[in-house]
Amino acid sequence: MDKVIIFDTTLRDGEQTPGAALNIEEKLEIAQQLERLGVDVIEAGFPISSSGDFEAVRRIAREVRRPTICALAHANAEAVDRAWEALHGAQKPRIHVFLSSSDIHLVHQLKKSRGEMLELARDMVARAKSYTPDVEFSPMDATRSDPAFIYQILQAVIEAGATTVNIPDTVGYTMPGEFSRFIKSVFQEVPNIDRAVVSVHCHNDLGLAVANSLAAIEAGARQVECTINGLGERAGNAALEEIVMSLATRKDLYNLTTGIDTAQIYRTSRLVSEVLGFGVQPNKAIVGANAFRHASGIHQDGVLKERTTYEIIDPKAVGVTGQSIVLGKLSGRHGLKRRLEELGYKLSDEDHDRVYLAFKELADKKREVLDRDLEAIVGEEMRSFTEVYHLDHLQVSCGDKSVPTATVRLISPTGQVLEDATLGTGPVDAVYKAINRLVGVPNNLIEFSVQAATEGIDAIGEVTVRIEGDGKTFMGRGASTDIIVASAKAYMHALNRLLTAREADKKPK
Ligand code: KIV
Ligand code: ZN
């Protein structure tokens, strides 16, 4: 059966989601999970854009061996060279060169003629080809470009060595029928198209990214560029999980396969959501909390009699497992280990010990520990970040007739005990003011959100914050049954990341 190549760009276009910022360890963790998921290509970053991106691509290229690792470069000699510098340790390296092709971009942004664009595209593909046989080219804003010019560009870049030609709907402008006709025309009008894989890259500005990608596949495209949870610039990119499950569920229609292990989808979605700090909307297809919940009595009755009456996908197929064991305070290490393994976590003995202690602490407070609680615990205990300041103690007093007061004790990087107490407009404000006085790092809190991991009054509260400091954005997360403690942990997480980035920037490159 014909195969569709799944090109994941969560670490590149997904990281262009406003407010997203990942450190190298986090990118590596996501890349390793994408490898388990079975994606064919990981676009790991845009090396010329920052030293952090360069280093992340370099690490992923060395440590993630099965998929092709791709680095993005705009059509510029230095960018192509830098992409190769980051990639050359990869088992299967790919350089992805892009350049705008629409008159809107050429006239207003690049101030280049079509002829200049064509020459530059050809030269930069040839340059990339001198480094690696696997070269992709994207005429940016292709769907708003003159189709005749696109055919000309594709022919030229294939001649120069491109092995994948990608048609980006950069601003999410096209419609499914129209895009399908465009892709078909590419096969008819580009004489050497049989020497390259035709790929598509759809944005979701009109909510059509997945529909357009599927229309392109029907028209013959055999690579789709997509992201986990549909993250990406503006309204995002086509969601990987939706494309893969559409192809799997409607195999009767498409007769196509992918290399994706669909049982890893839910786990990957959770990881990306946790690490990037962007929750998944409850009604999101495939991975939303309500995707397999049935509220109406008629639907419940049908599903209880025969699951397929109202479910087109078996939740287990995407890794949403039923609660087979209820964990509580009497559950032992083995029960916890088994449940974590069922959820897709493979922890070292040392990590398991830490998670087990946190689980016991929670089980003392909560009658039943559910999967989402376990995910919150693992997220909290395992997230790799350097702790510069440690939150040692927190006490808060508040109420409708009192002024919120917080006492905070931190341990500094040199082991010094730092303590302060402050008043605030609310308990979280008081805590954050006390922490700020102790750490002394100027920053702005730009986002604060709190969410219950599960239903019930004893649920774990998950707090996500974003702060701005040193001209960058840093995300922090904290989880606890006490939301003030979760808020303090989230803030400390973000501040520690800011301090770690500051130290890294000071090091000679
Ligand atoms: O949306 C776009 O056009 C892109 C290109 C770099 C492929 O992300
Ligand atoms: Zn894009």
Q: Is 377 left (phi over 0), alpha (psi -120 to 50) or beta?
A: alpha
Q: For residue 491, give Cα distances in angstroms to 322, 341, 349, 494.
A: 34, 30, 29, 5
For tokens 């025309």, what's the residue? 185
Average pLDDT of span 233-249: 97
Together in a domain, 345 and 255: no
Q: Would residue 110 count as lying in a domain?
A: yes
Cβ–ligand 1 distance for 474 under 6 Å, the answer no
- Summarised one tens digit per residue, pLDDT across range 110-161 is 999 999 999 999 999 999 999 999 999 999 999 999 999 999 999 999 999 9
Together in a domain, 215 and 127: yes
CA-closest residue to ligand 1 atom 2: 170
Let me know: does 422 contact 406? Beta carbons within 8 Å.
yes
Together in a domain, 331 and 356: yes
Together in a domain, 407 and 342: no
Together in a domain, 220 and 358: no
**Which among 364, 381, 398 is the end of a domain?**
381
**Which among 381, 407, 431 is the end of a domain?**
381
Q: How many domains does the chain have?
A: 3
d(CA 116, CA 124): 12
Looking at residue 361, its pLDDT comes to 86
**Which among 381, 406, 437 is the end of a domain?**
381
Looking at residue 19, its pLDDT comes to 82
Looking at residue 327, its pLDDT comes to 84
d(CA 332, CA 330): 6
Q: Would residue 284 count as lying in a domain?
A: no
Q: Would residue 204 count as lying in a domain?
A: yes
Distance of CA 407 to the CA centre of its chain: 36
CA of 76 to the centre of ligand 2 (A): 18
Average pLDDT of span 214-236: 97
Q: What CATH number has the domain bearing residue 369?
A: 1.10.238
Residue 171 alpha carbon, nearest atom of ligand 1: 1
Q: Would residue 42 count as lying in a domain?
A: yes
Together in a domain, 12 and 81: yes
As given in the structure block, the two tokens for residue 361 are 């602490």
Together in a domain, 203 and 167: yes
Looking at residue 454, its pLDDT comes to 74
- Summarised one tens digit per residue, pLDDT across range 248-281 is 999 999 999 999 999 999 999 999 998 999 999 9
Cβ–ligand 1 distance for 433 under 6 Å, the answer no
CA of 203 to the centre of ligand 1 (A): 9
503: pLDDT confidence band, cut at 50, 70 and 90? confident
- What average pLDDT does the chain have? 93
Average pLDDT of span 234-247: 98
Together in a domain, 368 and 226: no
Looking at residue 455, its pLDDT comes to 73
Report the DSSP beta bridge partners of residue 239.
227
Range of 20-34, 291-305, 431-445 with top mean pLDDT: 431-445
Q: Would residue 281 count as lying in a domain?
A: no
d(CA 95, CA 225): 15
Residues spanned by the domain of 259: 2-276
Together in a domain, 155 and 304: no
Looking at residue 508, its pLDDT comes to 62
- Summarised one tens digit per residue, pLDDT across range 69-113 is 999 999 999 999 999 999 999 999 999 999 999 999 999 999 999
Together in a domain, 69 and 176: yes
Cβ–ligand 1 distance for 57 under 6 Å, the answer no
Q: For residue 31, give Cα distances in angstroms to 226, 367, 378, 492.
A: 14, 36, 18, 26
Q: Would residue 282 count as lying in a domain?
A: no
**The one-letter amino acid at 150:** I
Together in a domain, 136 and 261: yes
